[in-house]
Amino acid sequence: MNISQKTFPNGLSVIVSSIKDSPSVTMGVFVKTGSAYEKKEHNGISHFLEHLCFKGTSKRPRPRDITEELEGMGAQYNAFTSRDMTGYYAKVAPRFFSKAFDVIADIYLNSTFPEHEFEKEKGVIIEEMRMYEDFPRWKVGELMEQQLYGDQPAGWTIIGPEKTVQGISRDDVVAYKEKHYIPHNTVVVVAGPVRAQDVFKETERYFSHISTKKRTEPAKVKKHTPKGHMEYRKLDQTHFSLGFQTIPLAHKDRIPLVLLANILGGGMASRLFQVVREDKGAAYYIAAGNDFFTTHGYLKIFGGLNHKKSDEVYTLIAQELKKIKKEGVSSEELKRVRDYTAGTFLLSVESSSDIAFFLGEQACAQKEIRKPRDIVKEIYTYHEKDIMRIARKYLKKEKLAVAAIGPRKEAAQKVFKAFKTI
């Protein structure tokens, strides 16, 4: 992967990954802002702003002017908001690169937030909230985050509560954009069959005139004692999520934590999948993974269980956590998991859009931009002793939060009891 970088005098960064034979090119504008940068009274404003940027610009005054132009190129395009960043992107055939760049730059720079679209879009977001509320597999993860970090940005939802979103004014959105959508907070990323110098010229043409301002930092994560929560719903499955407080994206323990999560619940050969689904037939899905952010992170274990077997599953999971802390991992299992981790990672950076997101996340959440081959090389530097060290360091009951959604009112106490012994 050939990566070129440039920082303009106003602070805006550009990263280009030139991929000679790629059939597509992806350009994205990534902004270092998200729910981690919000005040409680405006929780959800980053996500609301992202929606509103597609509602018209000074050059393209109607939403359909934006969508018709992008879809006229056959573009795959969208935007997203996370805790740390907001991104706008389009993936197109190489011959449409300049046109797509113009549209995405226009969305970032010149959105007008028309009043008649403003209130209407609140309704769209509220329906999005309700969609997530009706999806317990997603909702239980949100509940777990709330229990893990409490009443602070790390524990709030990205979309925000309905009451808060309803109260956001157009002036609030304009002020938030002016504060956060600034050159020092912004990274332009392009991946595909393009020359770096051509991208730098294109970026300079659109973005060099933006005046520089002092950037803000995300809220520091306050110490919080994790808790547990059970939400009663009449469902056909009990959905649960466990979370252990860990580390931010840039921390040196990140890759061994990924290896640990993959040993526990990464793929169908993982310990928990074998014990819970294959041996007991107690779940359709059971997995483990990590979420890493600029300021914090967590290792999670989650699944959807047969109600009658849920108590047994919690006990089995607790036993596996104790086992890996006590006995570690064999050389054969670690070899398999290193190969699995390296392989799945490389598959995750195959296309131009994959690479653009990979570079954009690094640029927004850590200072160093790492190439995939360097990450793969690091994966193979960890040994059995490292996995045991990481398991003992982070798989602790005082770092654990639990959430569950299901029809058994006593289930919360059952979960807490099972994990008191880890």
Spell out the alpha helix ranges (H) of 111-217: 115-133, 136-149, 162-167, 170-180, 196-207
Strand pairing of 228-232 and 400-406? Answer: parallel
Task: Specify which residues 242 forms β-bridges with.
Answer: 301, 402
Of the candidates 50, 121, 145, 320, the residue annotated as catalytic is: 50
The closest of 395, 268, 251, 399 to 337, measured between CA atoms, is: 268
Helix axes 196-207, 97-110, angle to 10 degrees: 30
Contact 329, 263 (CB under 8 A): yes
Cα separation values, 108 from 82, 182, 328, 374, Å: 17, 10, 49, 32
Angstrom distance (rounded) from CA 55 to CA 65: 9
Residue 130: both structure tokens together: 């309700």
Q: Is 50 a catalytic residue?
A: yes
Q: E strands of 195-310, at which residues?
A: 228-232, 238-245, 283-292, 297-305
Catalytic residues, which ones?
Answer: 50
